[in-house]
Structure 1
Amino acid sequence: MKKNGMLNSEIAKVLDDLGHTDTLVIGDLGLPVPPGVKKIDVALEIGKPSFIDLLTLLMEEMEVEKITLATEIKEQNPSQLVAINEIIGEQSDVVFTSHEEFKKQCITAKAIIRTGEATPYSNVILQSGVIF
């Protein structure tokens, strides 16, 4: 039995299978999951686990070269954007796109992990990097 790190077996399996440029999405309660994309729903109740809790853990477990956020987060949820920036630092390129385009990009994700987050535009696409 694992003692630390990602204990959720479904998420751990997705992380193990990621290759360079594959994407993984962390979403809030309302993010739609396109047909054919694996959904891992970790929501326990509204707010738990939070988007930030999961992003923090995934940034420790995953080599991320690019992060995509909806442009709308800048005005609709600036405090969440501040928290995201504190977690990612300068580790990855950050790209902003419209929420509609963001949802279109989710179609190619290896998985979408839905959290209990209930604040607007608390969604991120993490693009896998390479460790060498």
Structure 2
Amino acid sequence: MLLGVPEILSPELLKVLCEMGHSDRLVIADGNFPVESMGKNAVIVRCDGHGVPEILDAILTMIPLDTYVDHPVNLMEVMPGDQVATPIWDTYKEIVTKHDSRGASAVGNIERFAFYEEAKTAYCIIATSEKAVYANVMLQKGVVINK
């Protein structure tokens, strides 16, 4: 155990977060996301039994978001015609606001199939047991600055 490290972050995930450089992206995937097929070139970390919000919150205590892009956090847009609510997005925006001064304006949306293409280039994809639909979130890591 280490002081100041959220318990939900496994040693494997901490290692991956340390390995990531500026502009590298990671996807925190819901339970329906095709992790294995999208992550052929990514490090896959399993966080079974956990939901996306708690993983997102823990990760954002450890890494900054990229300040050189408008939307360092991106969500998968709902497909036209799908009649689903996405209240989990509000939760994500609250979490981002807690960790980034840009608040909800740091969060953007990417069309579903474009999100898949972007996910294929991610450094890491984290598999969760999140049951909410359209609950995938992509983060772009920023620069860690010593204060």
TM over 0.5: yes
Which among 37, 45, 48 is matched to residue 43 of structure 1? 48
Taking structure 1 as the reference length, the TM-score comes to 0.86
1:61 matched to 2:69? The reply is no
Counterpart position of 1:102: 115
The more displaced of 30-39 and 96-105 is 30-39
Aligned length: 127
The answer to whether the Cα contact below 8 Å between 2:86 and 2:134 also exists between their aligned partners in 1 is: no
- Structure 2 CA distance for partners of 1:36 and 1:131, relative to 1, 3 Å: closer
Give the RMSD, CA atoms, in angstroms: 1.8
Bigger radius of gyration, 1 or 2? 2
The letter for the 1-side match of 2:73 is: I
**Runs of 5+ unmatched residues, structure 1:** none
- Identical pairs, percent: 28
The SS at the match of 2:132 is coil
The letter for the 1-side match of 2:2 is: K
Counterpart position of 2:26: 24
The answer to which structure has the higher strand fraction is: 1
Once the two structures are TM-superposed, the CA of residue 10 in structure 1 deviates from its matched residue by: 1.1
1:83 matched to 2:91? The reply is yes
The answer to whether the Cα contact below 8 Å between 1:77 and 1:119 also exists between their aligned partners in 2 is: no
Taking structure 2 as the reference length, the TM-score comes to 0.78
**Runs of 5+ unmatched residues, structure 2:** 67-71
Displaced runs of 4 or more, over 4 A: none
In structure 1, distance between residues paired with 2:84 and 2:14: 31
Once the two structures are TM-superposed, the CA of residue 82 in structure 1 deviates from its matched residue by: 0.8
Once the two structures are TM-superposed, the CA of residue 79 in structure 1 deviates from its matched residue by: 1.1
